[in-house]
């Protein structure tokens, strides 16, 4: 880390604690479902559920879903919620497409700027946009590097990421990078290359890392201070492995319900939390239990599970 970057990060609001948030995806509201599925919860009932469960913050979800500008600020403030972050995909390795997409990042940052900061500032959560091939074979890159970027692609990726990171910093936000299934930063080796090529902080997503053949507990210690955001998921390893073995498309992750309530899956959640405390992690911990609502299913089912997830963490001192 250069002195310049170190000084820039020190300018962020200081916190010495882990602050717990929830995410719209835990209720079935995310890029794949909003505007597509009829039974995605309405934004106000989702925010009521997040607040009632005792979360301090919420992720943004798809741009505009929870509102924008003063409307979003009022909706969050009246429920005692802060904005934890906003997930945003960009085609980093494709210069022409990236040039066209970067103004959309400004729109995300405009939303951030309209909402008062909480105890922890919101994180622009950058992710790679992936490709149809990667979406068709989630998890494959862990054992088949031929589906990954070539050297030209990695060079383009590094340049594109640097542009987006600088854009966030110019607006006063220190971003984080989210390794994500069906993208070019999915497998353990791809995450390691990202860390080599950039100075951006990384989101530890325990569920997606499991699919990428990584060990979430080991990652906490290996990545150390590079972790500046956490998405805490639990997952069924056998379901994830079956999806990879079946060469099933990425949608199967949600339709087969690979992600589950905290403590019900194969992620060593307690060890992850202990590791985060050991490295002195401070910042948002966003609970995610990605789901797609079943036909006729109300928000009550997801709300009950997210209240249970919050109590699970409360019992562990969070």
Q: What is the pLDDT along the chain (318 residues), one digit of tens a residue?
A: 333 433 433 345 445 599 999 999 999 999 999 989 888 999 999 999 999 999 999 999 999 999 999 999 999 999 999 999 999 999 999 999 999 999 999 999 999 999 999 999 999 999 999 999 999 999 999 999 999 999 999 999 999 999 999 999 999 999 999 999 999 999 999 999 999 999 999 999 999 999 899 999 999 999 999 999 999 999 999 999 999 999 999 999 999 999 999 999 999 999 999 999 999 999 999 999 999 988 878 889 999 999 999 999 999 999
How many C-alpha atoms does 44 have within 13 Å on its Cβ side? 4
Structure tokens, 258: 């690979």
In sequence order, what are the residues at sequence separation of 6 or more whose Cβ sits closer than 8 angstroms to the Cβ of residue 119? 13, 15, 17, 19, 56, 82
How far apart are the C-alpha atoms of 99 and 81, rounded to whole Å?
A: 34
CA-CA-CA-CA torsion sign (305, 306, 307, 313) = positive
Write out the H or E segment, with its range, that includes residue 89: strand 82-90
Q: Which of 238, 232, 250 is nearest to 140 (CA)?
A: 250
Structure tokens, 39: 């039974």
Q: Classify the phi-psi angles of 315: left when phi > 0, otherwise alpha if psi is within -120 to 50, otherwise beta.
A: alpha
Does residue 206 contact residue 232 with C-beta atoms inside 8 Å?
Answer: yes
Does residue 209 contact residue 219 with C-beta atoms inside 8 Å?
Answer: yes
How far apart are the C-alpha atoms of 112 and 105, rounded to whole Å?
A: 11
Dihedral pair phi/psi, residue 229, rounded to 5°: -165, 150
How far apart are the C-alpha atoms of 110 and 99, rounded to whole Å?
A: 18
pLDDT value of position 9: 39
Structure tokens, 32: 């794949």
Output helix, strand, coil percentages for the chain, rounded to the nearest 5: 45, 15, 40
How far apart are the C-alpha atoms of 318 and 311, rounded to whole Å?
A: 9
pLDDT value of position 16: 56
Query: In the chain, what are the domains?
Result: 3-314 (3.20.20.150)
Number of C-beta neighbours around residue 127 at 10 A: 21
């Amino acid at each position: 880390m250069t002195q310049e970057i170190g000084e820039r990060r020190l300018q962020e609001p200081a916190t010495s604690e882990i602050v717990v948030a929830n995410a719209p995806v835990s209720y079935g509201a995310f890029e794949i479902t909003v505007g597509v599925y009829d039974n995605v919860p309405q934004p106000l009932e989702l925010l009521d559920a997040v607040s009632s469960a005792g979360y301090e913050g919420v992720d943004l979800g798809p741009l505009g879903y929870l509102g924008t500008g003063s409307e979003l600020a009022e909706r969050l403030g009246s429920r005692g919620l802060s904005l934890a972050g906003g997930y945003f995909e960009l085609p980093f390795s494709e210069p022409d497409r990236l040039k066209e997409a970067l103004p959309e990042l400004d729109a995300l940052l405009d939303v951030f700027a309209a909402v008062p900061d909480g105890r922890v500032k919101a994180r622009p959560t950058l992710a790679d946009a992936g490709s149809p091939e990667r979406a068709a074979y989630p998890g494959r890159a862990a054992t088949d590097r031929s589906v990954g970027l070539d050297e030209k692609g990695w060079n383009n990726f590094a340049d594109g990421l640097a542009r987006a990171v600088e854009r966030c910093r110019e607006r006063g936000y220190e971003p984080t990078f989210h390794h994500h299934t069906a993208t070019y930063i999915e497998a353990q080796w791809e995450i390691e290359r990202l860390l080599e090529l950039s100075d951006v902080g990384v989101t530890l997503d325990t569920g997606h890392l499991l699919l990428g053949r990584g060990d979430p507990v080991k990652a906490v210690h290996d990545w150390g201070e590079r972790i500046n955001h956490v998405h805490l998921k639990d997952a069924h390893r056998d379901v994830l492995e079956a999806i990879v073995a079946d060469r099933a498309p990425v949608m199967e992750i949600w339709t087969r319900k690979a992600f589950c309530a905290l403590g019900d899956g194969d992620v060593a959640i307690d060890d992850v939390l202990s590791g985060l405390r050991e490295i002195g992690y401070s910042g948002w911990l966003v609970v995610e239990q990605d789901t797609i609502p079943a036909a006729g299913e109300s928000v009550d089912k997801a709300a009950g599970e997210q209240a249970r997830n919050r109590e699970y963490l409360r019992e562990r001192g969070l």
